[in-house]
Amino acid sequence: MKISTLTKPLAEVTADALLIGLSTEDAAKLPTTLAVLDRATGGRLKSVLDAEKFQARAGQVTHLHIADRMPFGRLIVAGIGPRRGVTPDVLRRAGAGGVRRARDLGARTVAVALFGDRLPPERRAQALVEGAVLGTYTFDRYKKEKPDKLIDELRLVAPDARQQRLVTEGARTGEIFANATAFARDLVNAPANDVHPTHLAEVATEVAHGRGLKVNVYERAECAEFGMGAFLGVAAGSEQPPKFIHLTYTPSGPAARRVAVIGKGITFDAGGLDLKPADGMLRMKDDMSGAAAVLAVMRALPDLSPSVEVHGLIAATENMPSGSAFRPGDVLRAMNGTTIEIGNTDAEGRLTLADALAYAGSRVKPDEVVDLATLTGACVVALGPLCSGLFANDNRLANRLLSAAEAAGEKLWRLPLIDEYRENLKSDVADLNNVGPRGGGAITAALFLKEFAGDMPWAHFDIAGPAFTEKDLPLGPKGATGIAVRTLLTYLMTLRGSARARSGSSQRRARRRPR
């Protein structure tokens, strides 16, 4: 989808469709800009709204065909609810619903009025573009028949030339954020027979090349030299060779901070010898959603050029049962020397993340580390399919991530690291067991990871619920959601302004606590 901006009175915009937003207040009495449209259509806008008793609730969409009267064939009206309740997410959903309607009506070019006047123009533009791109996302790579209705171009209509500059800026950010999210969705939607660890390593290499990122892919032997016994234990049962991926983005100017982002990269989770039942295994191609998000974020960074050094880390493997698989009762030694007794081979994510965290601590030494993982069914039980769980050993880091998620329109709820539950991870033969009792499973998993974060400020996203949706959502069809990409990008972008001001270049490599 090509995205452009222009300044023109709405009645003169040329496109296959024009999308306007309508607040509840506007629906009762059309404001001047829309009254002009109504007059130009011979009062048809008002009569359709009246006939349908259109209340302009957020999410409501209607349309009229007016090719005989206007330079755009279709007028689409998206409700945005009461004016004071208009948030970027309301605009995202209105953009998504409205542009989807335009597509379904056969439009190829859509002009979008910059509605939602309470918010700054660049934020409105970003939200509308995110909604338009994500709301029309489809995954048809494996289908013979491709959809025939597609939007080629989105034209954002700014009210004046001064705002157009801001709108262009916001639209560009929205485009980068949405395309990154779609990139992650594609990776997760593609099946595990194609998206294996080698494929993830190839994607990482492609992403790095031409974008100035550094990439290292470590093979099994090198991981063994690092002492990644936990990661390699999980990999032991698979015919697919494991890959440890390390991508680095270095800003052109001084780096305000060094951040490591780790993504769980289980390209298929059969459960190992503790095999999952069929219905539990069915969706397990999505167990690399964290890795997909990390690849998507790293890919977008050069376009956004934040002043932070970012390291993307993925320990990629399958978790399969076989004669060479790791067994319940085995003891594995992680890269930091901690030994782990295997209580259940299906609690594999934390094992691969343990080594990725240890690697970060000893070889990257970041100022902070964030991991993204489809880690526990327990988190889905706790928060349902729409909300990720957040755990952190650092309150400021947690709060900054919660704000970023809010701004990005992704639901995130902090859960507690309850020290008393740490004893549930005790083992008779090793330093830790990889599982605890059923109750509080998301917490136990997070407590396990915390052991490997050491003294790094660390945050963990359990995205097991929102990574994949069984039904269509406002911002995308059923399937992979690309969750956490926009939260992380928002987060990394905010580190730019706040941190740059106090980054003396002499201090560059010194570890500083985030404020």
Give least dist CB 348 to ligand BES, A.
5
- Kindly report the number of other CB atoms within 10 A of residue 327's CB atom: 13
State how far the alpha carbon of 364 is from the alpha carbons of 352, 357, 456, 495, in Å. 17, 10, 11, 19
Q: Which value, to the nearest 10 degrees, does the dihedral of the CA atoms of residues 59, 74, 84, 160 take?
A: 140
Is 511 noted as a catalytic residue in this protein?
A: no
Comparing CB distances to ligand BES, the nearer of 130 and 286 is 286
Give least dist CB 512 to ligand BES, A.
35
List 211, 276, 422, 496, catalytic entry = 276
Beta-carbon contacts of residue 145 (< 8 Å; ≥ 6 apart)? none
Query: 380 contacts which partner out of Zn ion, ligand BES, Mn ion, none, CB within 5 to 8 A by kind?
Result: ligand BES
Cβ atoms of residues 249 and 300 within 8 Å: no
Beta-carbon contacts of residue 222 (< 8 Å; ≥ 6 apart)? 244
By the criterion CB under 5 A, which residues form the site for Zn ion? 266, 269, 287, 349
Give least dist CB 384 to ligand BES, A.
12
Query: 376 contacts which partner out of ligand BES, Mn ion, Zn ion, none, CB within 5 to 8 A by kind?
Result: ligand BES
Half-sphere exposure of 235 (CA within 13 A, CB side): 25
Tell me the C-alpha distance between 201 and 184, whole Å: 14
Tell me the C-alpha distance between 151 and 174, whole Å: 17
Task: Choose, by CB under 6 A, the member of 15, 213, 370, 435 that binds ligand BES.
Answer: 435
Give least dist CB 469 to Zn ion, A.
18
Tell me the C-alpha distance between 91 and 10, whole Å: 19
Comparing CB distances to ligand BES, the nearer of 34 and 463 is 463
Comparing CB distances to Zn ion, the nearer of 58 and 266 is 266
- The one-letter amino acid code at 229 reads G
Return the residues of window 342-361 that contact Mn ion according to CB under 5 A. Answer: 346, 348
Comparing CB distances to Mn ion, the nearer of 89 and 269 is 269
In the β-sheet with 412-414, what is the strand arrangement from edge to edge?
214-218, 243-249, 309-319, 258-269, 368-373, 458-462, 388-392, 412-414
Q: What are phi and psi of 462, to 5 degrees?
A: -95, 105
Cβ atoms of residues 352 and 264 within 8 Å: yes
User: What are the structure tokens assigned to 512, written together?
Assistant: 């500083």
Query: 344 contacts which partner out of Mn ion, Zn ion, ligand BES, none, CB within 5 to 8 A by kind?
Result: ligand BES
Residues touching Mn ion: how many (CB under 5 A)? Answer: 3
Give least dist CB 319 to Mn ion, A.
6
In the bound complex, which residue of the shown chain has the CB atom lying closest to Zn ion?
269
Determine the 3-state secondary structure of 368 from DSSP: strand
List 92, 299, 350, 486, catalytic entry = 350
Tell me the C-alpha distance between 502 and 483, whole Å: 31
Query: 464 contacts which partner out of Zn ion, Mn ion, ligand BES, none, CB within 5 to 8 A by kind?
Result: ligand BES
* E-only strand ranges, 233-387: 243-249, 258-269, 309-319, 331-333, 339-341, 368-373
Give least dist CB 344 to ligand BES, A.
4
Q: Strand 153-158 and strand 109-113: pairing?
A: parallel
User: What are the structure tokens assigned to 81, written together?
Assistant: 């609810």
Task: Choose, by CB under 5 A, the member of 269, 274, 367, 368 that binds Mn ion.
Answer: 269
Comparing CB distances to Mn ion, the nearer of 208 and 292 is 292
User: What are the structure tokens assigned to 23, written together?
Assistant: 């607040």
In the bound complex, which residue of the shown chain has the CB atom lying closest to ligand BES?
377
380 binds ligand BES (CB under 6 A): yes
Give least dist CB 267 to Zn ion, A.
10
Give least dist CB 29 to Zn ion, A.
54
User: What are the structure tokens assigned to 78, written together?
Assistant: 């998206």
Tell me the C-alpha distance between 442 and 391, whole Å: 9
Range in contact with ligand BES (rule: CB under 6 A) among 20-28, 32-40, 69-77, 374-382: 374-382
Comparing CB distances to Mn ion, the nearer of 348 and 367 is 348
Comparing CB distances to ligand BES, the nearer of 15 and 464 is 464
Tell me the C-alpha distance between 142 and 63, whole Å: 33
Tell me the C-alpha distance between 442 and 374, whole Å: 11
Cβ atoms of residues 404 and 491 within 8 Å: yes
Here's the x/- map for ligand BES, 319-358, by CB under 6 A: it reads as -------------------------x-xxxx---------
Strand partners, 155: 4, 111
Comparing CB distances to ligand BES, the nearer of 367 and 410 is 410
Is 350 noted as a catalytic residue in this protein?
A: yes
Give least dist CB 281 to Zn ion, A.
10
Return the residues of window 232-291 that contact ligand BES according to CB under 6 A. Answer: 269, 287
Residues touching ligand BES: how many (CB under 6 A)? Answer: 16
Task: Choose, by CB under 6 A, the member of 372, 378, 398, 405 that binds ligand BES.
Answer: 378
In the bound complex, which residue of the shown chain has the CB atom lying closest to Mn ion?
346
Query: Active-site positions?
Result: 276, 350
State the residues that interact with Mn ion by CB under 5 A. Answer: 269, 346, 348
State the residues that interact with ligand BES by CB under 6 A. Answer: 269, 287, 344, 346-349, 374-378, 380, 435, 441, 464
